Amino acid sequence: MKNFLILFLVLLTSCLSVQDFEEIKLTQPTMVSISPDSIATKKIQGKMGGENYFVFIDDVMWYHSELMMLVDSFEIEQLNTEKRKIKLIGGKNHWQIDMDTTDLKWRYIYFDGTEFLERDAITMKEFLSN
């Protein structure tokens, strides 16, 4: 019984890891799109009010679509996530992102195979177009 209890405690503590960041390894050029989860979008809607929120979301989705079509035309790998905590690993570079500690709710991170670059959808589209 004592051995069982020790094994149970070891298993329990191994599941309660402080590191709750999902690791994503990138090996080729990739566009990482991070969108807000439903909790964050409800907070945004509460701040903006009904009609303004829907106009805003329509614009966000349009710019997102434009960027993703460009990324697709370049045959760049796409990764979309709503995860709140991720760690991007690309080559020797690491980037830890906690969406709960930032005011940016839509994030676009381009990994060119070596370096990371973060921009909003409009600026990222301009960057990739040049």
pLDDT by position in tens, the chain (length 130) = 555 445 454 554 555 444 589 999 999 999 999 998 888 889 999 999 888 999 999 999 999 999 999 999 999 999 998 888 999 999 899 999 988 877 778 899 999 999 999 999 999 999 999 8
What pLDDT is attached to residue 6? 55
Can you list the alpha helix ranges (DSSP code H) found in 16-129?
38-48, 50-73, 121-129
Tokens of 43: 């907070």
pLDDT of residue 66: 97
Give the per-residue pLDDT at 16. 42
Q: What is the pLDDT of residue 86?
A: 92
Token pair listed for 58: 């329509």
Q: What integer pLDDT is reported at residue 30 of this predicted model?
A: 97
In the three-class reduction of DSSP (H, G, I as helix; E, B as strand; rest coil), residue 58 is classed as helix
**What is the rounded distance in angstroms from the CA atom of residue 53 to the CA atom of residue 27?**
37
d(CA 6, CA 96): 33
Residue 87 near residue 24 (C-beta atoms within 8 A): yes
Note the maximum CA span of the chain.
Answer: 67
pLDDT at 20: 86
